[in-house]
């Protein structure tokens, strides 16, 4: 019996264990094993019950519903903007005609003329997608002399106002002492704001645009270059962090500046404040004022700005300050202390790459924060300040165009710029997404994407004289170019008044030859973005150019290393003629050059698109009328994009001689006015670009063994040396 | 081993004293043990089916050990989320502090089971597997801290991923009861399925004070830019189905629509597009002949033909992701996983992780109104771009969508980047897939600067002991007008460098000119090149065929007029 009992006990204990295991232990792995079963219970909500109920009607009804709910402070493009106005004519901007007797600040005048000079401008409100008021809304500080009164009534009386729909209102200052609210003092309705010092609370994302605060002296066009002339390594400057400005003692925005003295060490962190501002500053004077004021006067603002690694940009009464742009231009990395400021063009600019976004609450940590930033990072932040300054901020025109391009990107939605286009060289204004949305189609991103341009080129020969003999230079040129291993096809652009020659008159080649008859037979047509160009590279040729296959091959291999620049043979130079106070043009043999003639040059196809769409009609018409200067204009354009000179490659002797002796032939180079025209062009172009974009170079690229004392048989491009 | 252990251990001690009624006793004992066991088992099993998991060991406790918390009816309810909240207004940055690693510390609350006064749980599902995975991932990451006093960010263990399974008011009360709630400051909630019928709000409806919301399906009206984080709607297929990465390139179909709950108007529009463009479009719907359930989720049909989902997504270049009642769609994750370029039609939708991800390189966003133009728009995209987008789409899935861990840690990294912006990850780090990271060049000196001549250059001469040769180099170099400084690096430990200019003359030295070009030297250098290339993982050197010369180099031109007349004379 005892044994039985023991068995029973054993059995019960065993059963006990097994059962426990079954119910307790095993279900752990089970729950892991059955994800499909569990999903039904855990995250299946999105598979069931998600029926359309909110907007049962058609899409238009949905839009109406949205518009009703989300207006005013909750405006978004979807609810407050009428996209249909932009569909027929694209992104066109209308500026209201100026009314007599309306006073207008110089800054606002600059904004309006920048728009009127842009390719977006239309004088027909019926074509417009966006409307800009001719009433000055920049300064809405009631205490300011620039303040425009009765704006509310004036705006309401505008016949095209339409509740503010598709309008953009520019503003630099809003509110006044003591609370500096962001109210403009009139009802903006459905209008978008392009506003400085806008706070994140009031900023309507993807609807408003935050613009930088700029002074009335900010140039309308052109604009100054960044201050950085060369990179120093290690990148540290005399001061680590500087600030020099007013201290308000009381009221809005005074806290941070009042506390700055805690971090000031008068060595490499120099933060200076003065209490002197306004008439009655002495009333609010505190114990530190006298000492601070004395210290303040010891330092020069500019000297500090140019000799500091970081510049503190604390908020003033308003969130933004002039200091921000000043620091940016001076390559002094801004350290932002302005909580809640929606930084300028925040929609497209990644400010972490060019500024340090501090927190007012952590002022005391700022010195250790900036000291912890690695040298590499400082170097990159500093360069980025310069890129952003020159790309988007250095003139009123750039600020306005950037604003318009941001809105255009929203309107078009699909062909719009990616963040990389906005935040890397040459910037969004030179990168037109209507050309392509693919980064690899532009000359600027090959290295970034780790890819190479297409390894062939398309030759475009510009023809203006009739084909009468088979010994004409164009026949030789066509044959030589077509023989290049990199040639994909040849396009003959027939800009001659005589009818097209018969097909058999062109020599037989291994690559296709396409003849395009120019419709208007004008100069600019040689730079049209023809669909028939399948390659990234274009070899642009004049009909009388003399080139050998070797020269073409070599130039193309050079271009592959510099796909964003013009690579070509004959070069020219510009200079400042101080007697005549104007730019001069020279074709003399000099030790440097700044242009490469497009009668024989390789460059990226994108520049055809940019030439055609980016440049103003006025310049293109001028080129067409005089049938001259198109090459100068192309060089201006490319250098203003790259900020770099073109590249001259070596050429055979005979070519140069032919070029020099062209007077013997009836070419446009023979015209005595030709040269004078080119001087005029230089100055016209420089004035439109706002500055001289051309850059000099002293370098010529030759084949590696060029004219070296080695056997000619070892040289790959030996033909270039042969006479 | 709770109750049952007690019974069996008491058993043997009783036996000797009870001899007579042993049989009845044993039977009774056995049945009691059995019943006890069953009861225990049931007790253990039942809560599991609600809680879904048992291996949640945050506090080294299993889920059924989680203390039960009863919420009084009068328990306070947080305020609805404040739309004006931003990091500088609603987030206490002092809690994060300054630390050399620039990393936030995240605390996870211990698990609790919240029930209302009558004992009904606040959620029909309790802790879901997905939320469990998310919390585990955080607790295994470098962000995690178990020290509540050092935490910068707090993550409740209350699962609010799916609003449908929540009792809104009670969940809010539970949140407010968290010991460090403090008006939701520095608290982070994860929600993937916000809103409910009939109007499906685009953000979680649970009142949550100032808590940050990582939400799937935000619209531009509910998303607090720079405060909330837009996250993907996790697709269970990410874990269940393995889709091998396909090489980018053209696919069998041009456009594929695979979603099942498409609004009838949009479906009609898609049908119209299909009629116009035929075979290029594949328009799938759910299979009517299959029973509902797990299996049907993995099948799609077109005119009776059955396709495997999500495998079929790999057969198309573009895949349509239309909004449903909610803006965020799990289909987006499936589409990215398949390396298909998503065509997103969901007006006002804030794309997942849009704060850091450049969606223009991985997707096409088209306004819902332009659905009819979709085909034309997509056709205008260059082939090379489509390929890049396919690669980019897959990379986004792998890095940011593929698991709850990826989603959770990406969210924390984004918040981390806001708190330590100067140490934030770069655009390239977020957006470049590994293949681009390896092949791309990002020069540290990227600004096109042509430095002025004035500062000149510094010559650095490395020398061992060949004094004569060094002397010659110095003599030649010092003639250069642009030389600002000359630095000689003495690379010989056995000899001290000569002092003063006199000692540079070294008559006893027999000059061995230049390095010997013998065989071993070349072999060594070749070995170096191979070693370096293997360490770099790639060959960074590029071959070019050009050389920079002065403009008038070797030209037939008076030497006197050349800037650099003597080049090449050596």
Q: Is the bond leading into A234 cis (omega within 30 degrees of zero)?
A: yes
pLDDT at B109 over 70: yes
Query: Residue B113 forms beta bridges with which residues?
Result: B68
CA angle A165, A166, A169 (to 5 degrees): 95
A700 touches chain B (CB under 8 A): yes
Query: Residue A513 forms beta bridges with which residues?
Result: A490
Distances from the Cα of B151 to the Cαs of A45, A600, B95, in angstroms? 32, 67, 7
B9-22 pLDDT, tens digit each: 444 444 445 555 66
Could you tell me whether strands A487-494 and A582-586 are parallel, antiparallel, or unpaired per DSSP bridges?
Answer: unpaired
State the Cα–Cα distance between residues B447 and A699, nearest whole angstrom.
19
State the Cα–Cα distance between residues B153 and B131, nearest whole angstrom.
17
- Fold type of domain A457-572+588-660+692-701: Spore Coat Polysaccharide Biosynthesis Protein SpsA; Chain A (3.90.550)
Counting runs of H as helices and runs of E as strands, what totals does chain B give?
16, 17
Q: How far is CA B23 from the centre of its chain?
A: 66
Lowest mean pLDDT among A218-227, B183-192, B215-224, B459-468: B459-468
- Shortest CA gap B92–chain A (Å): 10
- Shortest CA gap A376–chain B (Å): 7
State the Cα–Cα distance between residues B551 and B380, nearest whole angstrom.
44
State the Cα–Cα distance between residues B558 and B548, nearest whole angstrom.
20
State the Cα–Cα distance between residues A598 and A634, nearest whole angstrom.
8
B550 touches chain A (CB under 8 A): yes
* Rounded (10°) angle between helices A672-689 and A617-626: 180
State the Cα–Cα distance between residues B551 and B145, nearest whole angstrom.
65
> In the prediction, which pLDDT does B14 show?
43
Helix (H) or strand (E) holding A192: strand A192-195
Could you tell me whether strands A457-463 and A487-494 are parallel, antiparallel, or unpaired per DSSP bridges?
Answer: parallel
- The pair phi, psi for residue A36, each rounded to 5°, is -65, -40
Lowest mean pLDDT among A52-66, A578-592, B179-193, B507-521: A52-66
Q: Is the bond leading into B567 cis (omega within 30 degrees of zero)?
A: no
A42 touches chain B (CB under 8 A): yes
Nearest to A427 by CA among A408, A442, A414: A442
Query: Residue B144 forms beta bridges with which residues?
Result: B106
Question: Going by C-beta distance under 8 Å and a sequence separation of 6 or more, which residues neighbour residue A304?
Answer: A239, A242, A244, A270
Mean pLDDT across the stretch B442-470?
Answer: 88
Topology match between the domains A239-390 and A457-572+588-660+692-701: no
Please answer yes or no on whether A12 and B30 come within 8 Å at the CB atom: yes
State the Cα–Cα distance between residues B132 and B52, nearest whole angstrom.
9
Please answer yes or no on whether A439 and B240 come within 8 Å at the CB atom: no
State the Cα–Cα distance between residues B62 and A34, nearest whole angstrom.
19
Contacts of A9 in chain B (CB under 8 A): 8, 11-12, 15
- Shortest CA gap A464–chain B (Å): 31
DSSP state of A393: I
CB A600 within 8 A of CB A542: yes
Enter the tokens of residue A672: 């005595």
Average pLDDT for chain A: 88
| Dihedral (CA of A214, A216, A220, A226) sign | negative
A62-116 pLDDT, tens digit each: 666 666 677 788 999 989 999 999 988 899 999 999 988 888 999 999 999 999 9
- Detail the DSSP E strand segments found in A466-550: 487-494, 513-517, 537-542
Nearest to B98 among A9, A20, A365 (CB): A365
Helix (H) or strand (E) holding A653: helix A653-660
Contacts of B379 in chain A (CB under 8 A): none
Average pLDDT for chain B: 86
A618-670 pLDDT, tens digit each: 999 999 999 999 999 999 999 999 999 999 999 886 544 444 444 334 456 66
- Shortest CA gap A70–chain B (Å): 8
pLDDT at A153 over 80: yes
pLDDT: which is higher, A51 or B394 = B394
Reported ipTM exceeds the 0.85 cut: yes
Enter the tokens of residue B20: 């007579």
Question: Going by C-beta distance under 8 Å and a sequence separation of 6 or more, which residues neighbour residue A70?
Answer: A76, A78, A79, A80, B221
Nearest to A231 among B37, B164, B445 (CB): B445
B294 touches chain A (CB under 8 A): yes
CB B153 within 8 A of CB B106: yes
Q: How many CB pairs under 8 A join A and B?
A: 346
Structure-token match 């002065």, residue found: B550
- Fold type of domain B236-398: Rossmann fold (3.40.50)
pLDDT at B8 over 70: no
State the Cα–Cα distance between residues A319 and A341, nearest whole angstrom.
6
DSSP state of A417: -
State the Cα–Cα distance between residues B470 and B463, nearest whole angstrom.
7
A54 touches chain B (CB under 8 A): yes
Please answer yes or no on whether B388 and A439 come within 8 Å at the CB atom: yes
Contacts of B52 in chain A (CB under 8 A): 31, 38, 41-42
B241 touches chain A (CB under 8 A): no
A523 touches chain B (CB under 8 A): no
| Dihedral (CA of A440, A444, A450, A454) sign | positive
- Shortest CA gap B509–chain A (Å): 31
DSSP state of A21: I
Contacts of B364 in chain A (CB under 8 A): 414
> In the prediction, which pLDDT does B82 show?
86
Enter the tokens of residue A541: 């040729």
Nearest chain A Cα to B1, which residue? A20
CB B432 within 8 A of CB A419: no
CB B109 within 8 A of CB B154: yes
Please answer yes or no on whether A46 and B98 come within 8 Å at the CB atom: no
Lowest mean pLDDT among A19-33, B121-135, B296-310: A19-33
Query: Can you give the length of chain A in residues?
Result: 723
Enter the tokens of residue A618: 């006025």
State the Cα–Cα distance between residues A467 and A470, nearest whole angstrom.
8
pLDDT at B59 over 80: no
Question: What is the gyration radius of the CA atoms in chain A, in angstroms?
Answer: 33
Please answer yes or no on whether A15 and B544 come within 8 Å at the CB atom: no
A664-714 pLDDT, tens digit each: 344 566 667 888 999 999 999 999 998 999 999 999 999 999 988 889 899
- Shortest CA gap B177–chain A (Å): 24
Domain boundaries along the sequence of chain A = 71-210, 239-390, 457-572+588-660+692-701
Contacts of A54 in chain B (CB under 8 A): 198-200, 325
Enter the tokens of residue A100: 């007599």
CATH architecture of the domain covering A239-390 = 3-Layer(aba) Sandwich (3.40)
Percentage of residues of chain B with pLDDT beyond 70: 85
B450 touches chain A (CB under 8 A): yes
A369 touches chain B (CB under 8 A): yes
State the Cα–Cα distance between residues B122 and B158, nearest whole angstrom.
10
User: Which B residues in the span 388-447 are in contact with A, Cβ-Cβ below 8 Å?
Assistant: 388, 417, 421-422, 424, 426-427, 431, 435-436, 438-447
Nearest to B221 among A50, A74, A589 (CB): A74
State the Cα–Cα distance between residues A10 and A15, nearest whole angstrom.
8
Mean pLDDT across the stretch A466-474?
Answer: 90
| Dihedral (CA of A670, A673, A674, A675) sign | positive
Contacts of A50 in chain B (CB under 8 A): 200, 261, 324-326
Say if residue A57 is exposed, middle or buried (CB neighbours under 10 Å; 0-12, 13-18, 19+): exposed
Enter the tokens of residue B316: 């198309």
pLDDT at B568 over 90: no
Per DSSP, the three-state class of A142 is coil
Contacts of A644 in chain B (CB under 8 A): 448, 450
Q: How far is CA B533 from the centre of its chain?
A: 30
Helix (H) or strand (E) holding A626: helix A617-626
pLDDT at A325 over 60: yes
Neighbours of A32 (CB within 10 A): 13
- The pair phi, psi for residue B434, each rounded to 5°, is -50, -40
> In the prediction, which pLDDT does A722 show?
75
Please answer yes or no on whether B449 and A230 come within 8 Å at the CB atom: yes
Percentage of residues of chain A with pLDDT beyond 90: 71
- Shortest CA gap A340–chain B (Å): 7
Tell which of A11, A13, A46, A386 to mutate to test the B interface (max B CBs under 10 Å): A46
User: Which B residues in the span 48-67 are in contact with A, Cβ-Cβ below 8 Å?
Assistant: 48, 52-55
Tell which of B38, B89, B546 to mutate to test the A interface (max A CBs under 10 Å): B546
pLDDT at B231 over 90: yes
Mean pLDDT across the stretch B544-562?
Answer: 90
Domain boundaries along the sequence of chain B = 56-234+403-434, 236-398, 457-490
Please answer yes or no on whether B98 and A12 come within 8 Å at the CB atom: no
Task: Quote helix, strand, coil % in chain A, to nearest 5.
Answer: 40, 15, 45
């Amino acid at each position: 019996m005892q044994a039985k009992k023991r068995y029973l006990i054993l059995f019960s204990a065993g059963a006990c264990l097994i059962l426990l295991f079954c119910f307790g232990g095993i279900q752990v792995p089970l729950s892991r094993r059955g994800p499909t079963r569990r999903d039904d219970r855990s995250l299946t909500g999105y598979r069931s019950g998600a029926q359309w109920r909110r907007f049962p009607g058609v899409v238009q009804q949905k839009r109406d519903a949205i518009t009703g709910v989300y207006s005013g402070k909750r405006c978004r493009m979807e609810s407050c903007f009428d996209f249909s106005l932009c569909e027929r004519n694209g992104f066109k901007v209308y500026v209201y005609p100026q009314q007599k007797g309306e006073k207008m600040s110089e800054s606002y005048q600059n904004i309006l003329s920048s728009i009127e000079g842009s390719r977006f401008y239309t004088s027909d409100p019926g074509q417009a997608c966006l409307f800009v008021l001719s009433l000055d809304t920049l300064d809405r500080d009631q205490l300011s002399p620039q303040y425009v009164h009765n704006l509310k009534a004036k705006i309401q009386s505008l016949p095209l106002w339409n509740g503010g729909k598709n309008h953009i209102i520019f503003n630099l200052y809003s509110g006044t002492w003591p609370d500096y609210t962001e109210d403009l003092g009139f009802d903006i309705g459905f209008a978008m704001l392009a506003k400085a010092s806008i706070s994140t609370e009031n900023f309507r994302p993807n609807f408003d645009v935050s613009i930088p605060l700029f002074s009335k002296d900010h140039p309308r066009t052109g604009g100054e270059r960044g201050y950085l002339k060369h990179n120093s390594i290690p990148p540290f400057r005399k001061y680590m962090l500087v600030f020099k400005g007013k201290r308000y003692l009381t009221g809005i925005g005074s806290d941070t500046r009042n506390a700055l003295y805690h971090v000031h060490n008068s060595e490499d962190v120099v933060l200076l404040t003065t209490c002197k501002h306004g008439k009655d500053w002495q009333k609010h004077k505190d114990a530190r004022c006298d000492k601070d004021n004395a210290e303040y006067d010891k330092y020069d603002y500019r000297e500090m700005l140019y000799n500091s690694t970081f510049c503190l940009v604390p908020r003033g009464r308003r969130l933004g300050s002039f200091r921000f742009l000043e620091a940016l231009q001076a390559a002094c990395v801004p350290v932002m202390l302005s909580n809640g400021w929606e930084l300028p063009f925040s929609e497209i600019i990644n400010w972490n790459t060019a500024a340090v976004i501090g927190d007012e609450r952590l002022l005391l940590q700022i010195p250790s924060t900036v000291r912890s930033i690695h040298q590499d990072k400082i170097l990159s932040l500093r360069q980025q300040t310069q890129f952003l300054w020159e790309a988007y901020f250095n003139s009123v025109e750039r600020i306005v165009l950037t604003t318009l391009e941001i809105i255009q990107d929203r309107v078009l939605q699909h062909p719009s710029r990616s963040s990389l286009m906005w935040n890397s060289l040459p910037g969004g204004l030179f990168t037109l997404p209507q050309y392509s949305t693919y980064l690899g189609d532009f000359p600027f991103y090959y290295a970034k994407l780790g890819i190479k341009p297409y390894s062939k080129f398309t030759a475009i020969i510009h023809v203006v004289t009739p084909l009468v003999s088979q010994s004409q230079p164009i026949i030789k040129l066509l044959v030589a170019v077509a023989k290049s291993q990199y040639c994909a096809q040849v396009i003959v652009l027939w800009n001659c008044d005589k009818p097209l020659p018969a097909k058999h008159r062109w020599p037989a080649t291994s690559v296709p030859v396409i003849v395009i008859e120019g419709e208007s037979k004008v100069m600019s047509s040689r730079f049209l973005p023809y669909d028939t160009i399948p390659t990234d590279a274009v070899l642009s040729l004049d009909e009388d150019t003399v080139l050998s296959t070797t020269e073409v091959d070599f130039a193309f291999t050079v271009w592959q290393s510099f796909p964003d620049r013009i690579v070509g043979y004959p070069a020219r130079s510009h200079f400042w003629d101080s007697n005549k106070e104007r730019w001069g043009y020279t074709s003399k043999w000099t030790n440097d050059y700044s242009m490469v003639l497009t009668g024989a040059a390789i460059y990226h196809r994108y520049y055809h698109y940019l030439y055609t769409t980016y440049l103003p009609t006025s310049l293109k018409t001028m080129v067409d009328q005089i049938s001259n200067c198109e090459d100068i204009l192309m060089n201006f354009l490319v250098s203003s994009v790259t900020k770099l000179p073109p590249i001259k490659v070596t050429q055979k002797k005979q070519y140069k001689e032919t070029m020099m002796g062209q007077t013997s032939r009836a070419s446009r180079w023979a015209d005595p006015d030709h040269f004078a025209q080119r001087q005029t062009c230089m100055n016209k172009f420089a004035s439109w670009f706002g500055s001289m974009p051309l850059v000099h170079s002293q370098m010529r690229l030759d084949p590696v063994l060029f004219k070296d004392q080695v056997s000619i048989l070892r040289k790959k491009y030996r033909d270039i040396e042969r006479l | 081993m709770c109750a049952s252990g007690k019974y069996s251990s008491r058993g043997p001690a009783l036996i000797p004293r009870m001899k007579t009624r042993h049989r009845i006793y044993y039977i009774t004992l056995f049945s009691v043990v059995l019943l006890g066991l069953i009861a225990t088992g049931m007790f253990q099993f039942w809560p599991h089916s609600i809680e879904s998991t048992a291996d949640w060991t945050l506090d080294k406790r299993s889920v059924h050990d989680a203390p039960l918390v009863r919420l009084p009816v009068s328990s306070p309810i947080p305020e609805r989320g404040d739309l004006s909240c931003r990091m500088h207004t609603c987030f206490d940055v002092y809690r994060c502090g300054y630390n050399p690693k620039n990393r936030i510390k995240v605390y996870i609350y211990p698990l609790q089971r919240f029930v209302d006064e009558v004992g009904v749980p606040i959620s029909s599902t309790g802790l879901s597997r997905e939320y469990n995975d998310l919390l585990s991932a955080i607790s295994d990451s470098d962000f995690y801290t178990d020290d509540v006093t050092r935490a910068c960010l707090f993550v409740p263990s209350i699962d609010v991923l799916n609003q449908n399974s929540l009792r809104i008011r009670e969940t809010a009360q539970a949140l407010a009861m968290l010991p460090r709630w403090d008006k939701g400051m520095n608290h982070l909630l994860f929600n993937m399925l916000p809103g409910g019928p009939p109007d499906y709000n685009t953000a979680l409806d649970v009142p949550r004070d100032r808590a940050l919301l990582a939400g799937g399906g935000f619209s531009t009206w509910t998303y607090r830019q720079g405060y909330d984080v837009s996250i993907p709607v996790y697709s269970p297929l990410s874990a269940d189905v393995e889709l091998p990465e396909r090489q980018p390139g053209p696919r069998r179909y041009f456009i594929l629509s695979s979603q099942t709950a498409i609004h009838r108007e949009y479906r009609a529009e898609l049908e119209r597009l299909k009629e116009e463009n035929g075979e290029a479009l594949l328009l799938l719907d759910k299979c009517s002949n299959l029973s509902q359930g797990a299996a049907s989720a993995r099948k799609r049909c077109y005119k009776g033909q059955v396709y495997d989902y999500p495998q079929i997504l790999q057969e198309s270049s573009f895949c349509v992701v239309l909004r449903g009642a909610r803006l965020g769609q799990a289909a987006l994750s499936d589409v990215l996983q398949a390396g298909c370029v998503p065509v997103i039609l969901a007006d006002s939708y804030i794309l997942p992780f849009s704060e850091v991800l450049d969606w223009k390189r991985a997707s096409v966003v088209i306004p819902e109104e332009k659905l009819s133009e979709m085909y034309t728009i997509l056709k205008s995209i260059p082939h090379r771009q489509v390929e890049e987008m396919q690669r980019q789409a897959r990379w986004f899935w792998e890095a940011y969508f593929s698991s709850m861990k990826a989603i959770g840690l990406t969210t924390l990294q984004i918040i981390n980047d806001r708190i330590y912006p100067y140490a934030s990850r770069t655009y390239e780090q977020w957006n470049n897939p590994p293949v681009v990271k390896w092949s791309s060049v990002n020069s540290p000196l990227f600004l096109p600067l042509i430095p002025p001549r004035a500062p000149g250059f510094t010559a650095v001469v490395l020398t061992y002991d060949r004094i004569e040769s060094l002397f010659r180099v110095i003599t030649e170099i010092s003639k250069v007008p642009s030389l600002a400084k000359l630095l000689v690096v003495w690379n010989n430990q056995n000899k001290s460098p000569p002092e003063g200019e006199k000692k540079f003359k070294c008559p006893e030295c027999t000059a061995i000119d230049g390095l010997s070009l013998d065989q071993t030297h070349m072999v060594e250098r070749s070995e170096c090149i191979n070693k370096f290339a293997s360490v770099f993982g790639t060959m960074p050197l590029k071959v070019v065929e050009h050389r920079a010369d002065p403009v008038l180099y070797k030209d037939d031109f008076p030497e006197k007029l050349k800037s650099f007349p003597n080049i090449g004379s050596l």
